[in-house]
């Protein structure tokens, strides 16, 4: 399946991906309306420092440990994409604890959220990939992940 991959060699740490992600999942038509004057809750995060940085989001593991560990059964896998039913999440943070990539985080409402490849919002393709100015984040087919 197509996944989001990050090439840290080209990541500038500009954090545009975080803002594009937050906007894409806001449901608003305009980035200013969506993000101005508010804390943002992106599903992709820039890690690193001035010298090296890279964007981290869900790897959509072949055998996701978050799905196994979710006590409420809120996290599930559909067509290879790991998704979350927000109305089932009880906010126990177990998924946050077990995810080796730090790909899950609390949303504005407190329940957990994660990257769903922008397949469930109106963007239709990963907004972080589309908006990356240096093609450091790509969305491509590279075969199965080895875990």
Partner 1 sequence: MSIEFIYPEFEVIRNESRCIACRVCERQCANEVHSYDPERGIMVADESKCVNCHRCVALCPTRALKIVKSDCALRENANWPQSTINEIYKQASSGGVLLSSMGNPNPLPVYWDKILINASQVTNPSIDPLREPMETKVCLGKKKQEIRRDENGKLVCEMTPQLELSVPIMFSAMSYGSISYNAHASLARAATELGILYNTGEGGLHEDFYVYGANTIVQVASGRFGVHKDYLEAAAAVEIKMGQGAKPGIGGHLPGAKIVGDVSRTRMIPEGTDAISPAPHHDIYSIEDLRQLVYSLKEATEYKKPVIVKVAAVHNIAAIASGIARSGADIISIDGFRGGTGAAPTRIRNNVGIPIELALASVDQRLREEGIRDNVSLVVGGSIRSSADVVKAVALGADACYIGTAALIALGCHLCRTCHSGKCNWGIATQRPDLVKRLNPDIGSKRLINLVRAWQHEIKELMGGMGINSIEALRGNRLMLRGVGLNEKELQILGISHAGE
Task: For residue 134, state whether it binds partner 1 (rule: CB under 8 A).
Answer: yes
Using CA atoms, how far residue 27 sits from 3, 5, 118, in Å, is 23, 25, 11
# binding residues, partner 1 (CB under 8 A): 22
Euclidean distance between CA atoms 143 and 131, whole angstroms: 24
Nearest distance from residue 66's CB to partner 1, in Å? 28
**Of the candidates 2, 5, 14, 76, which one interacts with partner 1 according to CB under 8 A?**
14
Q: What is the CA radius of gyration of the chain?
A: 15
**Of the candidates 3, 4, 6, 20, which one interacts with partner 1 according to CB under 8 A?**
20
Contact partners, residue 90, CB within 8 Å, separation at least 6: 71, 72, 74, 111
Task: For residue 19, state whether it binds partner 1 (rule: CB under 8 A).
Answer: yes
Of the pair 50, 63, the CB lying nearest partner 1 is at 50
**Residue 136 in contact with residue 6, Cβ under 8 Å?**
yes
Q: Using CB under 8 A as the criterion, which residues of the chain lie in contact with partner 1 when the complex forms? A: 9-10, 12-16, 19-20, 23, 31-32, 35-37, 50-51, 131, 133-136
């Amino acid at each position: 399946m197509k996944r989001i991959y990050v090439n840290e060699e080209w990541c500038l740490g500009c954090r545009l991906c975080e803002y594009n992600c937050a906007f894409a999942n806001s449901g608003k038509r305009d980035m200013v309306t969506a993000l101005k004057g508010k804390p943002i809750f992106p599903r992709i995060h820039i890690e690193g420092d001035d010298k090296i940085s890279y964007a981290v989001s869900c790897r959509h593991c072949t055998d996701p440990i978050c799905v196994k560990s979710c006590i409420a059964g809120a996290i599930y896998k559909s067509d290879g994409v790991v998704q979350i039913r927000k109305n089932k999440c009880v906010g126990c943070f177990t998924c946050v604890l077990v995810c080796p990539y730090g790909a899950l985080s609390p949303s504005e409402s407190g329940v957990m959220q994660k990257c769903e490849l922008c397949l469930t919002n109106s963007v239709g393709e990963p907004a972080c990939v589309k908006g990356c100015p240096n093609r450091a984040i790509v969305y491509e087919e590279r075969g199965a992940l080895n875990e």
